[in-house]
Amino acid sequence: MKIPKLLQAVLVLAIVYYGFILVFDVILDHVIPSSLLTMYMFFVVAGVFMVFTATEESTRELVGPIKALVEDPSKKTIRNVVFVILPLLAGWYTYGKTSLSFEAPVELRTIHPAPPSSMKAYGKRYDVIKLENPLRKLEKEDPKKFKEHVAAGAKVYIQNCHFCHGDKLDGRGPYAAGLNPTPANFQDIGTIAQLQESYLFWRIATGGPGLPKEAAPWISSMPIWQNFLSEEEIWQVILFLYDYTGYQPRSFGHE
CB 127 within 8 A of CB 139: no
> 46 or 81: whose CB is closer to other proteins?
81
* Cβ distance to other proteins smaller for residue 18 or 92: 92
Is the CB of 8 or the CB of 221 nearer to other proteins? 221
Residues that bind other proteins (CB under 8 A): 26-27, 29, 31, 70-71, 73, 79, 83-84, 86-88, 90-96, 98-100, 102, 104-105, 107, 154-155, 157-159, 162-164, 166-168, 170, 172-175, 177-180, 208-209, 216-219, 221, 223, 227-228, 244
Min dist. Cβ of residue 79 to other proteins (A): 7
Assess contact for 62 and 53: CB atoms under 8 A.
yes
E strand or H helix at 124: strand 124-127
User: Rounded to the nearest whole angstrom, what is the least distance from the CB of residue 1 to other proteins in the complex?
Assistant: 29
Residues whose CB is less than 8 angstroms from the CB of residue 111 and which lie 6 or more positions away in sequence, other chains included: 190
Using CB atoms within 10 A of its CB, is residue 131 exposed (0-12), middle (13-18) or buried (19+)?
middle
Q: How far is the CB of 159 from other proteins (least distance, A)?
A: 6
User: Residue 162 Cβ, how far from other proteins at the closest point, in Å?
Assistant: 7
CA dihedral 83, 84, 88, 89 (to 10 degrees): -50
Q: In this structure, which amino acid lies at residue 228?
A: F
Q: How far is the CB of 19 from other proteins (least distance, A)?
A: 15
- Closest C-alpha to 8, from 49, 56, 67: 49
